[in-house]
Structure formats: structure tokens, C-alpha cells
Structure 1
Amino acid sequence: MENFTFNTIFSDSEIPYELLLLADETIEAINQYIFKCDIYLLHNGTENIAVMALCKNSETESELKNIAVIESYRSKGIGSILINKAKEIARKNQYTILTVGTSDTGFQQIRFYEKNGFVRTGIRKDFFIENYPDPIYENGLRMRDMVLLTHHLTE
């Protein structure tokens, strides 16, 4: 039986870069946002299996900056557990909007977010070109733009 528990990271020395790097390309990119976020780890017993980072964008909006699940737990609903937890945390903190951004080449990620109640609301043009020193490829395509997706927590 699965024994899932969540905990919050309280110390910079505990930042689980090995998990965060599953969803972001470099530690430098992670460091651009991680110190402004609340970090949550999902465990199965004593094993760290997933992470998410939530950042306050405004009084009404929280952004999911990073979400990652180790490979052996993918396609088992863990990502949706994390999304539901992010929604729960955001509501508890009086946010009405939860946003997330992903690459325009991340077709699987976009479908995942839409399946979990997010809708496409914008594009950050050239985000991956301007914010990463080397070209990044996904699904055989160069990552260029960030697709923004939003979930209204009052729905």
C-alpha cells in the first residue's frame, strides 16, 4: 500500500535540486525563482518521489513554478495529486488564480495541465531563448515560447 506524505522545505540547504532538475534544465534557472517559492515534497515512505514549487505572483495569484515526479512513479496519477495539493494550498492562502507555464513544445505537459482544469491564457514569447544560454530541444523541436495556463480556483 502506498504511504504518501507531504512536507514543506524550510531550509535552503534542503532544496531537492535532483528532483527540481527533472522539470527545469539548470540549477541557475531554478535559482532564479526557487528562493521566492514554497517547496513541497511528496514521499512514499522515506523515498522522495515528487516536488512542486509554488510562488506568490500577487495577492490573488499563485504560480506553480516547478512540478516533477521521479520516473518510476510517472503515469500513476502522482502529478494530479500534486496539482490537487497545489490548488488546496492556494485556496487556503486565499488565492483565486493558479497559473503555470510550460514550453510550447511540451505537448504532453500541456495536455496534463488541461486535463487538470487549466486553460491556455497566454504566451511569453521567446522565453526559453532569452532565459537559457543554450538551445533546449523537446520532442525534436527547439523550445522557444512559454505557454501560460490558468486555473480559476473559484470554479
Structure 2
Amino acid sequence: MTSASLTPESTPARRTVMAAAGAAGLAAALTACGSGDDSSNTGTTGNSGTGGTGGDTGAGSGSAGGTALARTADIPEGGGKVFEDKGVVVTQPAAGTYKAFSSKCTHRGCTVGSVADGVIVCPCHNSHFSAEDGSVKKGPATQPLPAAKITVSGDEIKLA
């Protein structure tokens, strides 16, 4: 390189470079988050037994494929289980009714930690969400957990 090619007028300011790098990182993060959230919002939760609000009423609805998550016996009534590697939390708010939501808290993006007594709890800032519909029960979160699509066939729960 020659010194003529690196004049202060021809090189971007450090602030410009840092802002561009930060914007690129933010765009990548939002694309990844938005992609999962968008698909979650368009789907409904599957359940078996009696229909629940906001969910499919037929067992095994949807395609026969999908990623196996758990057996129905693995999801306690009134509770649930977080599948951090799959990005979902599956609940059983009432006997035989299974719901699924994003496991990413809408407050700061932490993974929710537990489900008990009909409440999904985020350990980072103690936001509480309904195991029935993902709605906020206690802040600081202000947005509900987006629904995720599952199917229940026999005793198997699959991520659709």
C-alpha cells in the first residue's frame, strides 16, 4: 500500500466503521429472531382432547412429519417443559390439552426457565406468562409469548 491510498479523507472514520459493524450485527440478530417469531405467530398450537382457545382441536393435525419433542406423559398437568434446544416451551394447562410457545422471553430474550401452577416463568427478570395462551401475567414483559405449532398424535408431541 502507498501512503497516498490511506489519507484521512479517504478512510472512514472509526465511528462510521463501528456503527456499521453494530448495525450489521443487530440486523443479523433481528433477522434470526424475527424469522422464528413470524412463523410462530402464524401457526397455532396443536392439542389433543378438548379444544383450547387458540389451538387446533384435532389430535395429530398437520403433517405426519415434525420433530419429536416429548411424550404426553412428560408434560405435567398445570405445568410444562422447556425445550431450550428447540426454542419452545410445551404446556398442559388442562388435562389432555397441550400448548406450545416460544421459549424466548419477550422482555429481554432470555430463555424461560420453568412452568408450574399454570405459569411460565422467566428467571432473568421474573416475568410470568400464562401456560394457557402465553399472555403476560406479571411484567416487566409487556408482550405475550408467541405461539408455536405442535401436533399431538397418540402419546407423542411433535414440533410441526
**Structure 2-normalised TM-score?**
0.24
**Which structure has greater helix proportion?**
1
> Which one scores higher on RCO, CA 8 angstroms, separation ≥ 6?
2
**Which structure has greater strand proportion?**
1
The structure number with the bigger radius of gyration is 2
**Structure 1-normalised TM-score?**
0.24
